[in-house]
Amino acid sequence: MRSRALIIGVLTVAGGMLLGRASGLLREMVLARVYGLTRAADLAMFAMTLPDLLTSLLIGGAVSAVLVPEYHRQASRDGEPAARRFLGQSFTMITGLGSILAVILAGLAPLWVELMAPGFDGADHLAALQMARVALLAFPLSAATAVLSAVLQIHQRLTFATLGTLAFNLTAVLVIGLFASGHTGRTAAWAVVAGALARVVMQGIAAARDGGLNGAFSRILRFDRLPPGIGQRYVQALAAIGLLVLLPVTARAFASHQPGAAAAVSYALKLGELPAGICTAVISMIVLPRISRAIQSGDSHGARTMIRTSAQLILLGLVPVIIAFQWLADPVVGLIFRHGRLDHDAARLVADLARVSILGVPAAVLTSLAMAGFHARQNTSTPLRWGLAVFALLVPGMWLAEREWGIHGVVAATVVAAWAYTLILTVRGLSNDAMAVATPADEDSPPSARAA
């Protein structure tokens, strides 16, 4: 029965994420049709990317990585009502901070433009500033969505947990299709806000169904259910996950010096995000909660088995896809992107870049799996420490690669960095038994006793 439930859960998450990622490709198709590989396309891509990037860096998957294990811990020790109050207080805290941060980030818009698109100047730079401030209205909405998604994962309402991306993308596509002009990317900023609003409304209704949030918002301003140390774990997990998000963003930034190059890199990376997103969602929504429950029972063998089996299934599923894509890249890219202002030569460039970028997909997924193992036992420092080391080497490496091989070198450097991070986390996990599950007794013991 447990195996059947697991299979249904995996299929539900995979199906929902497939729809979400497919709608993301639809969004890219609409952008390509409207803008092609022009500076307006780069501006639209910037507007679509900025709030998502900042959400991933400042909120992101760390919410589930911290809230899901903590909910199970509080539910087992203090009961479900106390655990639901923890969720309500977390929602208030994270959404409130998200609103404050949105104002601060809007004031720092010139910094984001300079970091993410240093090739923009003059009128393009001014347009990017205006679009950034509009798109950042989506930031507090995304903060609320992150907590609601964790609630849906806890209660295993996987259908609605996975359909958020679909709601966002379809709404954004509708806005762009109805109002966008091929000469300016400004409509894309408002499309982001509309998509974020549609997503939070849908998931909020789903989370409140069947009493999933009963009592969650009583005493929400006391914050007595937020345990000491959770803030530090959140920041560390957030930073480590954010470094993964920075890999493609850094690639687009280096490519932005050539008109249309940032869009070409983005289109190529989007093809790899489809299988990676499905696998990562399965890890976050199914593997992590099960490992977290294993912590409460002290079933370290079961946790190790799930991690090992997940890694095997990831490689078994992705390697044939990657091999086949090397031959099918041109027709796939032509089918998806060769419309409107994207001509034959531009489509061939995107296909060549995609052949390289897809080689990093297994690395991205295996890294997420390794992080789930670390985070489930509240070891958030190791992924962050090694992620910073890899990223520090990536920037000069990508600069050299761009000078020698152009945007092809930029994409290749991204793949190399992803695999380096994966191998380091795997070796560290194996050498220190870091993927073993800590027991409650371990958590209550002093650091010296745990080290022994």
Chain segment 297-337, per-residue pLDDT in tens: 677 777 778 888 888 888 888 999 899 999 999 898 888 87
- Residue 252 CA to its chain's centroid (Å): 17
Q: Which two tokens stand for residue 250?
A: 């850094």
How many Cβ atoms from other residues are within 10 Å of residue 335's Cβ? Answer: 12
Helix H segments across 155-283?
158-162, 164-179, 186-208, 230-255, 261-282
Residue type, 52: D
Strands of 356-428, DSSP E: none
**Is residue 50 situated within a structural domain?**
yes
**Is residue 194 situated within a structural domain?**
yes
Q: What percent of the chain has pLDDT over 70?
A: 90
Q: What is the pLDDT of residue 74?
A: 86
pTM of the predicted protein model: 0.72
pLDDT averaged over every residue in the chain: 82
Q: What is the pLDDT of residue 199?
A: 93
Could you tell me the pLDDT band of residue 220, with boundaries at 50, 70 and 90?
confident
Higher-confidence position of 379 and 5: 379
Highest mean pLDDT among 4-8, 367-371, 384-388: 384-388
Q: What percent of the chain has pLDDT over 90?
A: 19
Q: What is the pLDDT of residue 447?
A: 36
Cα dihedral sign, 250-251-257-261: negative
- CB-side exposure of 441: number of CA atoms within 13 Å? 4
Stretch 66-87: mean pLDDT: 86
Convert the pLDDT of each residue in 254-301 to its tens digit. 888 777 888 888 888 888 877 787 788 788 888 888 887 776 667 777
The neighbouring-strand residues paired with 184 are: 181
Cβ atoms of 195 and 168 within 8 Å: the answer is yes
Query: For residue 349, what are the domain limits?
Result: 2-439
Residue 434 pLDDT greater than 60, yes or no: no
d(C-alpha 282, C-alpha 310), whole Å: 10
Q: What is the pLDDT of residue 169?
A: 92
Q: Which two tokens stand for residue 262?
A: 């940032």
Could you tell me the pLDDT band of residue 443, with boundaries at 50, 70 and 90?
very low
d(C-alpha 49, C-alpha 185), whole Å: 13
Cα dihedral sign, 208-210-211-213: negative
DSSP code for 137? G
d(C-alpha 197, C-alpha 141), whole Å: 6
Residue 356 pLDDT greater than 80, yes or no: yes
Stretch 26-51: mean pLDDT: 83
**Is residue 220 situated within a structural domain?**
yes
**Is residue 445 situated within a structural domain?**
no
d(C-alpha 129, C-alpha 148), whole Å: 30
Could you tell me the pLDDT band of residue 3, with boundaries at 50, 70 and 90?
low
d(C-alpha 119, C-alpha 225), whole Å: 47
**Is residue 449 situated within a structural domain?**
no
Cα dihedral sign, 325-327-329-335: negative
Residue type, 227: P
**Is residue 451 situated within a structural domain?**
no
Residue 211 pLDDT greater than 70, yes or no: no
**Is residue 51 situated within a structural domain?**
yes
Higher-confidence position of 252 and 210: 252
**Is residue 450 situated within a structural domain?**
no
d(C-alpha 305, C-alpha 242), whole Å: 27
Residue 451 pLDDT greater than 50, yes or no: no
Q: With b meaning 16 or more CB within 10 Å and e meaning fewer, what string describes 82-94?
A: ebbbbbbbbbbbb
Q: What is the pLDDT of residue 267?
A: 86
Q: What is the pLDDT of residue 247?
A: 83
Residue 164 pLDDT greater than 50, yes or no: yes
d(C-alpha 133, C-alpha 143), whole Å: 17
Stretch 50-64: mean pLDDT: 76
H/E segment holding residue 44: helix 39-58
Q: With b meaning 16 or more CB within 10 Å and e meaning fewer, what string describes 277-308?
A: bbbbbbbbbbbbbbbbbbbbeebbeebbebbe
Helix H segments across 300-343?
300-337
d(C-alpha 425, C-alpha 432), whole Å: 11
- Residue 47 CA to its chain's centroid (Å): 17
Q: Which two tokens stand for residue 204?
A: 């909020």
Lowest mean pLDDT among 186-200, 241-255, 387-401: 241-255
Closest listed residue to residue 50, CA positions, set 139, 123, 124: 139
Total number of domains constituting the chain:
1
Stretch 243-249: mean pLDDT: 82
Q: What is the pLDDT of residue 448?
A: 36
Lowest mean pLDDT among 59-63, 88-92, 428-432: 428-432
Could you tell me the pLDDT band of residue 340, with boundaries at 50, 70 and 90?
low
